[in-house]
Structure 1
Amino acid sequence: MLWGVSGPIFLLDYLGAVAVAVVIAVAARELTGRRAQGATPDRVELAYLTDRALLACQVGVAALRRAGGVEIGELATLHAQGPPPAGSPALVRALHSALRRPQTWAAVLADPDVGRALRRTVGRLVRDGWLLTRAQRRRIALGTVPLFAVAAVGLTRLVDSAVEGRSAGGPASVAGLLLCCLATALGGWWLTEVPETGSAARRLLRRLRREHAELDPERRPTWQGRDTDTLLTAMALFGPRPLLAVDPAFAVQVGVDPERDRPRPDRKPARR
């Protein structure tokens, strides 16, 4: 029975059950999508894994810009000139096609060809295991059920003891159990936020960020003399801030927020 043991012993048993439930939830998250197949994602696909469609499009249009294929026009429009670089990904070609006539960035993002290219990109990432399917995301969410079950058991003991007049332990045990129940429920709620990326994609991004740590905007890298590949890699792994440092006018045109994405003057760079 829930009230058949003393408060401190029940609390220790409860914490043990919470630890088991956390292991189950974390295991479900880490083991789902832990293997991927096919080629390593290119920079546009890495950008999608990092921050979804907007960053992927920003990396794609930055590739066109660096190749001299996109100019800033009047009334906040962009216009493509010349052919796209040879071997460009499908999304880059779709962006170039959308910019054959002057367009605002919002119109480019709404272009049907760009949307189709994004869906094909997502399909390829899902097929190769870098992004999770709906079934896999549902599996991760179900992994949090034991946490809520454990929280329910603890709350049931507290409520049942209060209603039936049974002792749930001393004031310290009751307060500790109540706090643990709340923490368990909040932890379960936090873990129900299921990532779109599989664990293989998260490992890949962590590894590449370590390998290219010198490009982290928090370290304020010097961009003078850097080539296009380096810039696009930095954007794909760390977000659009590098484009703001290299080409601020163009960055603003393609949706990079100068206030949010520019480093604060009073912020110290991270140590190397």
Structure 2
Amino acid sequence: MLWGVSGPLFLIDYLTAVAVALAVALAVRELTGLRVRGAQPDTVELAYLTDRAGLACQVGVATLHRAGVVRRGELATLAVDGPPPPRASPLVRALHAALRRPQTWAGVLADPAVGRALRRLVGRLVRDGWLLTPAQRRRVALGTLPLFGVAAVGLARLVDSAVEGREAGGPASVVGLLLCCLATALGGWWLCEVPETGAAARRLLRRLRRRHADLDPQQRPAWSERGTDELLTAMSLFGPRPLLAVDPRLGELVGIDSERTRPAPQRRLSRA
């Protein structure tokens, strides 16, 4: 029988091994992507780190709106009337170019120049360390292997006991070990979902959200008393709803869901 110890003692050893394996997985996740270079991301880049391309484009349109160059047309279209704001980011300029003729929001997102600007933005964030490379995401995923190994050891003891007709402990020990094995395997599977953002980016977003907690839409800021920088910062950190408060019709045209209060959790992004 695996491995000459009583059921309760094996269960204690098993839980200790789970704790160690979980600590390894979490440490790898928290230490990957700590090193960054270059300047802190601007509001458009922060929006991408928060909720990817959709929010980055919404912040870009909000930038054009605050510059007074966006106008709403017929059939749910948008267009620009005037030059882009000075020192606009490449994505904002690409959105401005796409809106030189009336476009629906879906058409804007499908514009080749917008797509190229988004790819360059992602390239910069990866190069500077704010987004994880494929190799780094694989490293985070591999950090969960000890959890699956511990789960396999626990299942091996249960199977060995069943096949050989031996005791794996009392009913409580057997049920406890089985539940622990399932929980360990599910925890490893959950941790295999690797965020695209590195540890430095996640820490930066947490720090900025604490610093700008007064801009959280749940605090109901008076946007009529706030400047452009504060509006764009709020959108890039907390999601697009501030634009709905400033211009509800424009917010609806760019696909902002009034029922959604927060960006989706990061863990949904990719499985390495």
Does the Cα contact within 8 Å between 1:241 and 1:256 map onto a contact in 2?
Answer: yes
Q: Distance in 1 between matches of 2:221 and 2:65?
A: 21
SS of equivalent to 1:156: helix
Q: Distance in 2 between matches of 1:28 and 1:261?
A: 31
Cα RMSD for the two superposed structures = 1.0
Q: Distance in 1 between matches of 2:19 and 2:92?
A: 47
Q: Distance in 1 between matches of 2:110 and 2:55?
A: 15
Partner of 1:235: 235
TM-score by length of 1: 0.95
2:25 aligned with 1:25: yes
**Shift in Å, 1:35:** 1.4
Partner of 1:121: 121
Q: Distance in 1 between matches of 2:258 and 2:30?
A: 35
**Shift in Å, 1:246:** 1.3
**Shift in Å, 1:260:** 3.1
Partner of 1:57: 57
| 1:81-92 correspondence runs (5 A) | 81-92=81-92
Partner of 1:144: 144
**Shift in Å, 1:258:** 2.2
| 1:1-272 correspondence runs (5 A) | 2-261=2-261
Residue identity in the other structure for 1:95: L
Does the Cα contact within 8 Å between 1:35 and 1:129 map onto a contact in 2?
Answer: yes
Does the Cα contact within 8 Å between 1:3 and 1:168 map onto a contact in 2?
Answer: no
Q: Distance in 1 between matches of 2:260 and 2:175?
A: 42
SS of equivalent to 1:224: helix
Does the Cα contact within 8 Å between 1:59 and 1:235 map onto a contact in 2?
Answer: yes
**Shift in Å, 1:220:** 1.9
Residue identity in the other structure for 1:254: V
Residue identity in the other structure for 1:220: R
Q: Which runs of 5+ in 2 are unaligned?
A: 263-272
SS of equivalent to 2:78: strand
Q: Distance in 2 between matches of 1:42 and 1:60?
A: 11
Residue identity in the other structure for 1:90: P
**Shift in Å, 1:261:** 4.3
